[in-house]
């Protein structure tokens, strides 16, 4: 008899799968958290060591990123921006400017006090520090000391006073703005001449006197005529003290 072939035995191979043990992937998460924390620490340390301007830029970015990029055109803190004078100057530079302005005001008042003819008019000079710099005002009182009524003609005493101021200002590099103001009394002629023209003409008269007394070419950058749009005494638009000439000594740019 023919022998039947033996059946091939079936072998079952079992592979052992080795897992990650009890750690799994948790260590990766912990390491990522550690790296993130270290990065945040380094960023904070970097910010602490930056200038005030850089800190302000970073703060503005986190307050409103959209507005930040719109205002800086995406340039960030390191791109040169056109800014106002008050934003460009540093705190230390501004303090030096203010001190120089105070010294300038003291020198002007000392020089005026030396002249007997100007001693009585010294109380009509108002000097104050403002946001843009130093404002020197020649303010009318009970009568017209500085200009003939309704004209832009400076009187002799006013001419002398403006000359004294000009000689002091000519020693400084600061740019100047000369402003004219009137009260609210209507001043109109058939040719259309109004308080605006009168205030501008008076400011320009003061400018010409200063130029003849040592002021540097180009030092006056603006001549403005405000009429009664910027009253000194808003409670009484007709008050004579609203009639005045202002000389604004602007802060230097850093």
Q: Is 192 part of any domain?
A: yes
Looking up tokens 């340390």 gives 45
Instruction: Assess whether 66 and 119 both reside in one domain.
Output: no
* 81: in domain: no
Identify the residue whose tokens are 């400017």: 97
For 2, the enclosing helix (H) or strand (E) is: none
Q: Is residue 38 part of a domain?
A: yes
Note whether 62 and 139 are same-domain residues.
no
pLDDT tens per residue across span 19-56: 555 556 677 778 888 888 888 888 888 877 777 777 77
12, 41, 76 — which closes off a domain? 76
Q: For residue 14, is it within any domain?
A: no
Which DSSP state fits 242? G
CB 215 within 8 A of CB 170: yes
Average pLDDT of the chain to the nearest whole number: 81
Per the DSSP assignment, residues forming a β-bridge with 138 are 125, 245
Structure tokens at 1: 């008899």
Do residues 157 and 140 touch, judged by C-beta distance below 8 A? no
| Angle, CA 165 vertex, CA 164 and CA 166 arms, to 5° | 90
| Residue 183 Rama label (left phi>0; alpha psi -120 to 50; beta) | beta
The total domain count for the chain is 2
The answer to whether residue 106 is domain-embedded is yes
Domain of 166 in residue numbering reads as: 91-250
Query: What is the pLDDT at residue 29?
Result: 77
* Backbone dihedral angles phi then psi of residue 223, each to the nearest 5 degrees: -125, 120
Considering the domain architecture, whether residues 61 and 107 belong to the same structural domain is answered as no
In a domain, 157, yes or no: yes
In a domain, 141, yes or no: yes
- Regions of the chain with pLDDT less than 50: 77-80, 85
Q: What is the CATH number of the domain that holds 98?
A: 3.30.1330.60
Distance of CA 17 to the CA centre of its chain: 73
Q: Do residue 129 and residue 231 come from a single domain? A: yes
Q: pTM, whole model, 2 decimals?
A: 0.62
Concatenated DSSP letters for 16-61? PPP--TTTTTHHHHHHHHHHHHHHHHHHHHHHHTS-HHHHHHHHHH
Is 3 part of any domain? no
At residue 77, the pLDDT reads 47
d(CA 173, CA 120): 30
């Amino acid at each position: 008899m023919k022998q039947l072939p033996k059946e091939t035995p079936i072998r079952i191979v079992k592979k052992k799968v080795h897992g990650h043990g009890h750690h799994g992937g948790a260590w990766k998460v912990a390491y990522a958290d550690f790296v993130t924390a270290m990065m945040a620490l380094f960023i904070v340390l970097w910010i602490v060591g930056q200038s005030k301007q850089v800190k302000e830029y970073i703060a503005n970015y986190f307050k409103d990123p959209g507005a930040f990029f719109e205002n800086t055109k995406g340039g960030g803190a390191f791109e040169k921006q056109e800014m106002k004078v008050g934003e460009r100057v540093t705190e230390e530079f501004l303090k030096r400017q203010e001190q120089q302005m105070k010294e300038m005001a003291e020198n002007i008042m000392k020089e005026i006090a030396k002249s007997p003819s100007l001693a009585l008019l010294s109380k009509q000079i108002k000097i104050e520090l403002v946001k843009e710099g130093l404002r020197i005002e020649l303010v009318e009182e009970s009568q017209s000391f500085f200009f003939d009524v309704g004209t832009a003609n400076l009187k002799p005493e006013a001419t002398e006073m403006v000359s004294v101021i000009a000689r002091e200002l000519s020693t400084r590099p600061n740019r100047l703005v000369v402003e004219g103001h009137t009260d609210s009394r209507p001043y109109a002629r058939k040719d259309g001449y109004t308080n605006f023209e009168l205030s501008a003409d008076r400011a320009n008269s003061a400018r010409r006197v200063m130029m003849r007394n040592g002021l540097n070419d180009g030092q006056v950058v603006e001549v403005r005529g405000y009429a009664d749009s910027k009253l000194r005494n808003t409670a009484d638009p007709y008050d004579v003290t609203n009639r005045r000439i202002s000389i604004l000594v602007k802060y230097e740019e850093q």
